[in-house]
A = this chain, B = another copy of it.
Amino acid sequence: MALKILIIGGVAAGPKTACRLLRLLPDAQVTIIDQDNLISYGGCGIPYYVSGDVSDEKELRNTSFHMTRDESFFMRAKGVKVLTRTRASNIDRKRKLVAVENLDSGAKEELPYDRLVLTTGSTPVILPIPGADLNGVYTISDLHKAIAIKERLAKGEVGRAVVIGGGAIGVEMAESFADLWGVETTVIEFMPQLLPSILDPVVAAMLAKHLRDKGVTVHTSEGATAIEADAHGQACRVVTAQRTIEADLVIMAAGVRPRSQLAQEAGLLVSPRGGIIVDERLQTSDPNIYAAGDCIEVTHLVSGQKCHAPLGSLANRQGRIVADNLAGLASRFNGWGGSFIMKAFKVCVGATGLSLAAAKTAGFNADQAITAQSDRAHFFPNQTVIPLFMVFDRPSRKILGVQGFGPMGDAVLARIDAAAGLIARGGTIDDCSQLDLAYAPPFATALDALNATANVADNKAAGRLTTISISDYLTWMANPASQPEWLALDIRHPAETAAFTAKFGPLWLAIPYAEIRARHQEIPADKTAIIICDAGTRSYEVQCVLNAHGHRSLVLGGGFNCIRRIGVEWWPTA
């Protein structure tokens, strides 16, 4: 008799499981149930639908060959039965039955299974603050809400929007409001930086500056305490400890949680964070039940720690693995590599592996190398600087993570994905230094930015390069008296340094890079030189010279290319 597979959840991992399984086992009887009427859509595309980049929500539900993935499509093309508007209320594991209810007719029935697959996704966190349930407060959790938001924008009902939560979805939504619709948009983030669980603080600061440059107001270290209503009961302002912000529309983007109540009630193992616990074959604690996608707990490939990684990419990869295992192929899902990329207006931020903070939290003896090199040959017309941040483990020299910031395009993606490939196989600094990245002037520098970052990590790991962190540098600039023995040694071109020496006087010693060998004696013997250039590369060379002459120095990794992208108040205006 044909294997009966029942899949609960029809957005990403569920349909992927179903379709792959029917290719492997054409005789299987596969049924997907979903409580929504819209299924199998690209949820990550919602911000681009709201912004107008994607004109019709149907495009998010279409295949690349322009067929809409609805019940009829799944039946005809894939041989998969889909029951929409159907909610699962109970799993009877003994009898292998799932109790379901049709949300339109109210009809109830029990669906039998040989193997059950839970792809129930995630659910947005609703902050426990007054007004969270008001009209005009939206989560980005399904297509219906996206359609409602876009309708309000199109009607001109939204002049001001507040986004609660500066994670990826919050930032993407802020862009979609401000960019095309010209909505006055504010992002509030409770933590001291945007994308706190993902980005290095410096990368996050670059992102925040760009958002502000594009007209988005960003408040970090600021939580929403209430959402207030107008006379019609419509959300009209967001209150924080610092201020009250008028809003015609409020987005609640405070994160998501695994949707695992059904699994929990059925007695399956669920983690304290709410993720369904699965093994590498994505089997739950019941061997007849598999789970995949946003609802499960995964292992971080670099830290080895358990985490929740609600990403469309993982859902698709996991769906394939569930299907393989249902069909008797022992494929394994090893974990999440931490890879991430996001567009924000004209820039992008990318990451893979662990941030420095996450690596330290995970117990690594971690350090970081920062560069600000060109993405392509510096003589090539459209070249630009892409700051890269590489985290490594000092004792093993393994690369733990890479982050990047750059203009929109795939330059940062290329470096992140190359690093992901290395990290997935336990690559070291030396592997990355020698990594054979493709080179031609329109695409890269002869020594690619990623190779160069590994070289900086090598110099740092070997103790040849001694740096000051960007945050320590900024702290000092805010209060130079805190480190009276420090002196800025600015080795850039005199045309660049003049405004700084004029403004900072004795704090600022300018000696051009090429003159250091002849003029290093000008550095007072009792000072530690904070060496400053645009990228950190020349500064390291200068440090080697200074070391040879007995001077103490610290290199500002990434140099002023990074500082400029963060934006600082003390930058001379001349």
A interface vs B, CB < 8 Å?
A: 12, 19, 22-24, 26-27, 42, 44-45, 48, 53-54, 59-60, 62-67, 73, 76-79, 168, 301, 311-317, 320, 329, 331, 333-334, 336-343, 348, 350-352, 373-375, 377-381, 408-411, 413-422, 424-427, 430-431, 433-444, 446-448, 450-451, 455, 462, 464, 492-493, 513-515, 517-518, 533-535, 538, 540-541, 544-545, 547-548
Q: How far is the CB of A544 from chain B (nearest CB, A)?
A: 4
- Whole-angstrom CA separation of A65 from B443 in the bound complex: 19
B60, B168, B374, B417: the one contacting A64 at CB < 8 Å is B374
Closest residue of B by beta carbon distance from A57? B379
- Apart from the given pairs A26-B545, A45-B441, A410-B411, 13 other A-B contacts in the complex at a CB distance below 8 Å: A48-B377, A53-B381, A64-B374, A65-B492, A65-B513, A66-B493, A79-B517, A313-B448, A410-B443, A420-B421, A420-B435, A420-B437, A424-B436
Q: Is the CB of B352 within 8 A of A438?
A: yes
A336: chain B residues at CB < 8 Å are 436
A313, A408, A451 interface centre (most CB from chain B within 10 Å): A313
Q: When the two chains form the complex, which single residue of B340, B443, B446 contacts A315, counting CB atoms closer than 8 Å?
A: B446
> Which residues of chain B have C-beta atoms less than 8 A from A433's C-beta?
317, 320
Query: In the bound complex, do residue B339 and residue A436 qualify as a contact, i.e. CB atoms below 8 Å apart?
Result: yes
Residue from B340, B411, B513, B544 within 8 A of A438 (CB atoms): B340
Give the shortest distance, in Å, between A168 (CB) and chain B (any CB). 8
Alpha-carbon distance A27/B12, docked complex (angstroms): 62
Whether B430 pairs with A427 at a CB distance below 8 angstroms is no
The listed residue (B42, B59, B337, B431) touching A425 by CB distance below 8 A is B431
Q: Give, as a whole number of angstroms, the nearest-CB distance from A488 to chain B.
A: 18
A16–chain B nearest beta-carbon distance, Å: 8
A27 and B544 CA atoms in complex are apart in Å by 11
The docked-state distance in angstroms from the alpha carbon of A311 to that of B316 is: 38
In the assembled complex, the Cα of A79 lies from the Cα of B549 at a distance in Å of 14
In the bound complex, residues from chain B placing their C-beta under 8 Å from that of A540 are: 23
- A542 smallest CB distance to B (angstroms): 10
Distance of A557 from chain B, by nearest CB (Å):
16
In the complex, A440 Cα to B443 Cα: how many Å? 21
Q: Do B334 and A434 touch (CB < 8 A)?
A: yes
Q: How far is the CB of A568 from chain B (nearest CB, A)?
A: 21
Which listed residue (B418, B424, B533) contacts A420, Cβ 8 A? Answer: B418
Q: Which residues of B contact A313 (CB under 8 A)?
A: 436-437, 439, 444, 446-448
Residues of B within 8 A of A27 (CB): 548
A417's closest neighbor in chain B, by CB? B418
Closest 4 CB pairs of A and B: A421-B421, A337-B436, A425-B425, A410-B410
Contacts of A419 in B (CB 8 A): 421
> What separation, in Å, do the CA atoms of A517 and B60 have in the docked complex?
25
Cα-based distance from A42 to B439 in the complex (angstroms): 12
Closest to A334 in B: B434
A23 touches B53 (CB 8 A): no
Could you show 21 A-B contacts with beta carbons less than 8 Å apart?
A23-B544, A24-B464, A42-B379, A45-B380, A64-B374, A65-B513, A76-B514, A313-B436, A313-B437, A315-B446, A316-B446, A320-B433, A331-B430, A334-B434, A338-B436, A413-B443, A418-B420, A421-B421, A421-B424, A424-B435, A425-B427
Shortest beta-carbon distance from A200 to chain B in Å: 15
A485 shortest CB reach to chain B, Å:
24
* Residue of B whose beta carbon sits closest to that of A319: B447
Most buried by B among A375, A410, A540, A548: A410
Could you say which residues of chain B place their CB within 8 Å of the CB of A534?
65
A515 to B67, CA, bound (A): 13
With both beta carbons as reference points, the residue of chain B lying nearest to A309 in the complex is identified as: B436
Judge whether A408 and B442 touch: CB under 8 Å.
yes
Contact across chains for A45 and B379 when beta carbons are under 8 A apart: yes
Provide the bound-state CA to CA distance between A435 and B59, in Å: 27
Among B73, B415, B439, B493, contact of A339 (Cβ-Cβ < 8 Å): B439
Residue from B78, B351, B410 in contact with A413 in the complex, judged by beta carbons closer than 8 Å? B410
List the B side residues contacting A411 at CB < 8 Å: 410
Q: Tell me, in angstroms, the Cα distance from A518 to B451 when the chains sit together.
A: 54
Cα A22 to Cα B540 in complex, Å, equals 12
The answer to whether A441 touches B545 (Cβ under 8 A) is no
